[in-house]
Amino acid sequence: MKLLDPRDPRHLLTVGFLVLAFLIPLVIGSSLYYLTILILMLIFIIYASAWNFLTFSGQGSLGHAAFFGIGGYAASLVALKVGLPPLVTLLFGGCFAALIGVLIGLTCVRLREWFLAMVTFGFAVIIQTLIVSQLAPVTGGWDGFPVPKLVPTTIPGYLMIEYYLVLLIAIAVILTFRYLLQSRIGLALAAIRENEVEARAAGINPVPFKLFAFGVSAFVTGIAGSLEIFHFGYITPEIFGIDLSFWPIIYSITGGLGTLSGPIVGTIIVTLLWDGLNALGLTYARFIIIGVLLVLIIIFLPRGLVSLPDEIRKRLKGKRS
């Protein structure tokens, strides 16, 4: 498959989207508020894509905040204690999260959906407890500690530079996922997802592939977590909160599970809706609206918003015939 095919409307859409992503800061670049929203949106696109990658292997997680937070803590501790620049320590955050991810994956690969959901949720709680109790001398307990920023605020236009850095990382992550899914690994993951017994019969051992998916997903999630922490310049154990585990799920489902574009579309639409509702002053009501949206999408549009054009086309055809 070619990277770009001018006859495919989806590819044209992607290119248009990328051009927009590169040009947008030039238009609104002066507003720190909008730039911040865009940076966080990109970070969550990375996070949601990483969560979604796990579902390609037929697994799910209710506790991805564990990896998000571990990445954040590891990257910021290395940056503080060793003095390396944040851009380098991102990789430490990712690797450490991947290490823990594979360890958690080892306990999870044999579990069924519900159990997997509970175990991953439980790990987030356990890790948060460790951070605030036994590890408190290093992590500062509930108070957290300040962290250097990704781009020092002394550089003029630092937020703009940060935006482009995060954008490049996001593009790299999504291209990597695309490459992985089109490779033999992606085929094996699909086989395991559709029918694990048949995959075994075809000579695929599911365990290494599931662990691989867990490791990659945790690695990218760790990078997303470090990016968020280096954006805010402060870390507290609230990074392990239930909310942070649920957001990537909401984004991916809204956009469309099991597609590369789903988490991207979902993150953009839900974030815009979220900030729009906030601007209207609906602090609690926006949660309710998001919840209702989620329920409606699961029932009526199980393949997410990216399947909306197909569904509309199908309806129109159905009516005509």
Summarize as ranges the residues that interact with other proteins (CB under 8 A): 55, 60, 62, 107, 110-115, 117-119, 121-123, 125-126, 128-130, 132-133, 242, 246, 249-250, 253, 284-285, 287-288, 290-295, 298-299, 302
Q: Which is nearer to other proteins, 133 or 153 (CB)?
A: 133
Q: Which is nearer to other proteins, 229 or 270 (CB)?
A: 270
Residue 237 Cβ vs other proteins, minimum distance, rounded to whole Å: 11
Residue 122 Cβ vs other proteins, minimum distance, rounded to whole Å: 3
Q: Which is nearer to other proteins, 175 or 298 (CB)?
A: 298
Can you tell me the distance from the alpha carbon of 92 to that of 96, in angstroms, rounded to the nearest whole number? 6
Sign of the four-CA dihedral 292, 287, 289, 120 = negative
Strands 234-235 and 145-146 come out as antiparallel
- How many residues are present in the chain? 321
**Residue 42: both structure tokens together:** 């990109």
Q: Which is nearer to other proteins, 94 or 263 (CB)?
A: 263
Secondary-structure breakdown of the chain: helix, strand, coil percentages, each rounded to the nearest 5? 80, 0, 20
Can you tell me the distance from the alpha carbon of 232 to that of 137, in angstroms, rounded to the nearest whole number? 22
At residue 109's C-alpha, the angle toward residues 103 and 112, to 5°, is 135
Can you tell me the distance from the alpha carbon of 201 to that of 86, in angstroms, rounded to the nearest whole number? 46
Residue 271 Cβ vs other proteins, minimum distance, rounded to whole Å: 16
Residue 121 Cβ vs other proteins, minimum distance, rounded to whole Å: 6
For 102, other C-beta atoms within 10 Å of its C-beta total 16
**Residue 163: both structure tokens together:** 């935006």
Q: Which is nearer to other proteins, 19 or 285 (CB)?
A: 285
Amino acid (one-letter) located at 81 = K
Residue 283 Cβ vs other proteins, minimum distance, rounded to whole Å: 9
Residue 131 Cβ vs other proteins, minimum distance, rounded to whole Å: 10
Q: Which is nearer to other proteins, 119 or 190 (CB)?
A: 119
Q: Which is nearer to other proteins, 100 or 250 (CB)?
A: 250
Can you tell me the distance from the alpha carbon of 202 to that of 267, in angstroms, rounded to the nearest whole number? 36
Can you tell me the distance from the alpha carbon of 276 to that of 255, in angstroms, rounded to the nearest whole number? 18
Residue 301 Cβ vs other proteins, minimum distance, rounded to whole Å: 12
